[in-house]
Structure 1
């Protein structure tokens, strides 16, 4: 399901904005949410227009009503002071990336408004020298700093599928060790839907190895690229399946043939409706608790496992029912292979042989994996098949009979057993999901029952554990991990609680907690080490700097000392680490907070999420700890009727104690 605009969508909407905004004038700016800004324009052709820019998600004109705060935040205030009254000189897309640029002239000043639509994107205003006047969200990555005063850096240029030459395309395919559809996504800067569209229009199976394509197949692929990304046929519409909206596209796609199209006058109108409908769906789903959503997902999974189990068992039976036909096909392929022919050569010979099996074989790949259509009685010839090259899929006639996926190196019974084994796997998954569903139903009943109200009515504040005055969490493997809050608590952990059998983590950057894994003499699993690494970088100065990744290292407890080298001095809270270090590189920053029983807990997402409900994930962002804590408390309060109980275990101050220093935001 589409969550953000693709590079094709950006190209289409930029073309519309060029027609409507260039030559127009900038009006007021409004910030509707931490990621969303609306700017009004006076268009020479269309009058007053509102442009919505949502960082990391979308950019388009909107006609939806807005509720802006009475006191505008810093970013829209800055836009008003710099851009109001300015004239739009140009609207363009940077390369074929998901970056839209609006160039605005105001007197002698020239500004560029940047909308980044890719994940963790931003909205920024640049001056004429390319320096950032102000970002919507101040962020810093390893190779890019989106901070006021910094020179704006675009992401590394990627291959443009609109202009890639035939020779460059052949090189990309030949260099790939993956299937065609994945190679197109990774090597040619496109989404999965468009990669499938290219394969479909070129008439090439998307699962064939990319390096196996040559000659005329590459020519067809290159032609399909120009046809799809040329956007020659503008026809903005929503794609729907019944009441469910599937996608929004600027031009027809063959992958959606057979689905309903809801046409719009412009692509902006279609985008506005698409994203509004998705927000409405999310709003309708809000009242459901996490447990209720979990139950629905589990029920759907059980049904899917059950249906898949039945279908696989039916196909296994079908192999035996058509024993003679299957055996004849396998024997023909095996005979050709024994004579030294490749599977592609075998398929080509069978297709031109005029034998009855020629219409039954739909595909035969380079490993001998076979797709075979067996027409049910009364189907006649079973419809038209496309055969002819390795990996061909069948035409619409496939649905008229059973389509079996077989291995030509196996016997008929062995191929049937493959289906039975797959059916057993689905049965095991279904049984596991049914047990999980029983546990979910039990938890829902317990939360809704009278026991909950009774227990919480007599709730008394529990006595804190010794480690709760530090930063702490319990790993998914049950190990206690603690870290200092400041120099004083770092010193206390070193002096009182760091034992020889423990492990310690720290970052090269200053301003990080002394993180200690209390091993109790037991071997520590890798999952706990990775969680402790995430904990160490998330509570370090890297978070305050707005970074999303960081490095840290692991050492034994006896490698940590307070004894400096001769002539050196250690300030309070500092340590010396001697000996070999094990580094954890590019560890993602991120934490989760949640309520587990009658206690607020926090720490790495993988350690908190399985134990707590509700759970909120946080990442580096623009909100102060106090402001974010209030939002998290409100989200908890929406799910909990007993506010006295909630305030006792998860007050705003308690939530603040789990948040890192610096700006943060709720993830997603």
Structure 2
């Protein structure tokens, strides 16, 4: 089931609301959930109409009975004071984006109620000058601040598949290096279902390389775009497969031919029914579970993830040997350039412009010699398969494989890297399976270990050397440390940063010096991504209320305290020389929890699988002390032995893991 409305769905609902809401008067507003608001309208011809707006997910008229809170929160209270008694003057969609707007006139004032349906969307009220009166959720991004008093900015304009010219369409397809369906999704602002529908109506297989289409095929795609996006609302219905609801659409789609349909008089009714099914499922899944049940679910998910990765890495190791000749020729070409004194960035630039087939195969080459290599899976005479190349570095199922290799290693050594990763995942899976058996045994006994008895004799353990810094242990077992201030940044540089280590930092000032202690071993990508999240989350970006940021990775030997001639370095500052690997748009966010007899904190991916109970934290409005007290009370609800809890996870200990600036518990 899809999780949110598409731009086609928004267009269909807006068309429906134009008919039913124009001229209606605004009544009361209610907030049913953190992201969900209902605004009532009174129409002379239709009576009371309830409009449901859910940030990032949906907007439609609802007829389902829902219990409203007795004390309305701030946002619906503001809507009542500003909009009650106002008249709806217009309803529209912004371009072909997932943004619906309701213009409301009240006396001399004019307001705009906006519902953003895209991921990380919001519900906001704007005044006549385009300023935000109040957002449902205060958020700040790199290029948009959704805060009271800020000028509202729309997202960058998206291409409209309803009005794109043939020439523009031909350019998008010709310049794409991906298959047709993915090119349509990324280049023309449409969901995957509608992209498949366009391919179906154009009589083309969705995995056709976009750049290979002929002029006649491009004409068919352009005609199919007009047909699909000209449907709007003609026959709203739910789509069912074997009795299970799989989608809700405003008009029939050929990709769903042969599946059962459940028709409705209006698209709002269909949407109301579709999402009410999801609400019911959410309520069922929200049934309180014991700590052991939550642990069991988490262990089962981890086992499946380990098993999937084990198979993936083994398959990629085999792929390296299958294409031994091609891989060896690419590695030899890069090594030859490096021996001549070229840097890896220079080698990649020369390859890009050489005009040889190898240029299309090397997708990336970083400063450490790590490369991503795309191999064509098709031998002469083979049939074309139905799979795609996985842009994340995984194994394609039919058209090709993308391999992550090191140009300094031989072909067998690169294959062995994948086999070693597979063994690591197998070892983790076996450990998780043993833990799962123990959890199941405890559940069957309907009792956990005797917490109070064993914890009553708890003695405060001696802190490790790294616990005076910010720290966490990655999913792959690597220790990562970071400074708390200029003094500890200096201490980490002077005492603990080795040449074999890796270091991360942000371009923005006010960030910790983050060090991955490698012990001379290769660091997996998962650890690098967790360390990047750590570096961004504990930087000044959090204090500024931003939800994403950039950071870079270098070798330990590239970090120095020696400034350029005539320059001066203040305390806690460093100089980085040489090439850097950037991590762009890294989401901020940390998790805190109790693992065994210790409080831990750091990147969500590294902390949550190990801790129970745990909480996720994001930038917000609470001070570190206030939030720490709330988190402590939450832990206290889960733990019977308060003396043990205070020794392990006191309020002060929790504060030490929180980033600088305001925060709140996510969700």
SS state at 1:499 partner: helix
Corresponding position of 2:163: 163
Corresponding position of 1:378: none
Corresponding position of 1:472: 471
- Inter-CA distance 228–213: structure 2 relative to 1 (3 Å threshold): same
Corresponding position of 2:14: 14
Question: Is 1:293 paired with 2:302?
Answer: no
- Inter-CA distance 226–663: structure 2 relative to 1 (3 Å threshold): farther
Question: Is 1:369 paired with 2:367?
Answer: no
For the residues of structure 2 that align with 1:610 and 1:32, how far apart are their CA atoms?
31
SS state at 1:576 partner: coil
Corresponding position of 1:659: 658
Deviation of residue 510 (structure 1)? 4.1
Q: What is the CA deviation profile of residues 488-511 of structure 1, one whole-angstrom value per residue up to 9, with x for unaligned ones?
A: xx4256358841644665444344
Deviation of residue 247 (structure 1)? 1.5
Deviation of residue 185 (structure 1)? 0.7
Corresponding position of 1:257: 257
Corresponding position of 2:490: 494
Deviation of residue 619 (structure 1)? 2.9
- Inter-CA distance 661–110: structure 2 relative to 1 (3 Å threshold): same
Corresponding position of 1:218: 218
Q: What is the CA deviation profile of residues 84-124 of structure 1, one whole-angstrom value per residue up to 9, with x for unaligned ones?
A: 21111111111111111111111111111111111111112
Question: Is 1:234 paired with 2:230?
Answer: no
Aligned match of 2:515 in 514, 517, 520? 517
Q: What is the CA deviation profile of residues 392-418 of structure 1, one whole-angstrom value per residue up to 9, with x for unaligned ones?
A: 9xxxxxxxxxxxx999xxxxxxxxxxx
Tell whether the 8 Å contact from 1:446 to 1:452 is kept in structure 2 after alignment: no
Q: How does 1:273-422 map to 2 (within 5 A)?
A: 273-286=273-286, 287-288=288-289, 289-294=293-298, 368-370=381-383
- Inter-CA distance 199–569: structure 2 relative to 1 (3 Å threshold): closer
Q: How does 1:408-487 map to 2 (within 5 A)?
A: 435=430, 438-445=433-440, 448=443, 451-453=449-451, 456-458=454-456, 460=458, 462-463=460-461, 465=463, 467-485=466-484, 487=485
Tell whether the 8 Å contact from 2:378 to 2:399 is kept in structure 1 after alignment: no
Corresponding position of 2:532: 533
For the residues of structure 2 that align with 1:365 and 1:100, how far apart are their CA atoms?
46
TM-score after normalising by structure 1 = 0.72
Q: What is the CA deviation profile of residues 206-233 of structure 1, one whole-angstrom value per residue up to 9, with x for unaligned ones?
A: 1111222224333332222222211255
Q: What is the CA deviation profile of residues 505-555 of structure 1, one whole-angstrom value per residue up to 9, with x for unaligned ones?
A: 54443443x335374864673655543332222122211222122234567
Q: How does 1:46-125 map to 2 (within 5 A)?
A: 46-125=46-125
For the residues of structure 2 that align with 1:524 and 1:115, how far apart are their CA atoms?
47
Corresponding position of 2:344: none
Question: Is 1:580 paired with 2:593?
Answer: no
For the residues of structure 1 that align with 2:473 and 2:238, how far apart are their CA atoms?
47
For the residues of structure 1 that align with 2:168 and 2:489, how far apart are their CA atoms?
58
SS state at 1:460 partner: coil
Larger Rg, first or second structure (1 or 2): 1
Deviation of residue 6 (structure 1)? 0.9
SS state at 2:151 partner: coil
Structure 2 unaligned runs (5+)? 310-376, 388-397, 401-421
Structure 1 unaligned runs (5+)? 306-363, 373-390, 393-404, 408-426
For the residues of structure 1 that align with 2:116 and 2:616, how far apart are their CA atoms?
23
Tell whether the 8 Å contact from 2:235 to 2:263 is kept in structure 1 after alignment: yes
TM-score after normalising by structure 2 = 0.72
Tell whether the 8 Å contact from 2:32 to 2:38 is kept in structure 1 after alignment: yes
Q: What is the CA deviation profile of residues 599-648 of structure 1, one whole-angstrom value per residue up to 9, with x for unaligned ones?
A: 22110123224433454433334555567557756776776677776565
- Inter-CA distance 406–190: structure 2 relative to 1 (3 Å threshold): closer
Deviation of residue 583 (structure 1)? 6.3
Deviation of residue 562 (structure 1)? 11
Deviation of residue 22 (structure 1)? 1.3
For the residues of structure 2 that align with 1:234 and 1:638, how far apart are their CA atoms?
52
- Inter-CA distance 367–655: structure 2 relative to 1 (3 Å threshold): farther
For the residues of structure 2 that align with 1:46 and 1:212, how far apart are their CA atoms?
53
For the residues of structure 1 that align with 2:130 and 2:15, how far apart are their CA atoms?
23
Tell whether the 8 Å contact from 2:562 to 2:575 is kept in structure 1 after alignment: no
Tell whether the 8 Å contact from 1:560 to 1:576 is kept in structure 2 after alignment: no
- Inter-CA distance 499–256: structure 2 relative to 1 (3 Å threshold): same
Q: CA RMSD in A?
A: 4.2
Instruction: Count the aligned residue pairs.
Output: 557
Deviation of residue 274 (structure 1)? 1.9
Tell whether the 8 Å contact from 1:564 to 1:576 is kept in structure 2 after alignment: no
Tell whether the 8 Å contact from 1:53 to 1:60 is kept in structure 2 after alignment: yes
- Inter-CA distance 481–429: structure 2 relative to 1 (3 Å threshold): closer
Corresponding position of 2:337: none
Tell whether the 8 Å contact from 1:533 to 1:584 is kept in structure 2 after alignment: no
Deviation of residue 432 (structure 1)? 8.5
Q: What is the CA deviation profile of residues 416-475 of structure 1, one whole-angstrom value per residue up to 9, with x for unaligned ones?
A: xxxxxxxxxxx9999889847733532413654553546655352533515445432223
SS state at 2:449 partner: helix
Corresponding position of 2:363: none
- Inter-CA distance 240–595: structure 2 relative to 1 (3 Å threshold): farther
| Comparing 283-292 and 146-155, the one that deviates more | 283-292
- Inter-CA distance 580–66: structure 2 relative to 1 (3 Å threshold): same
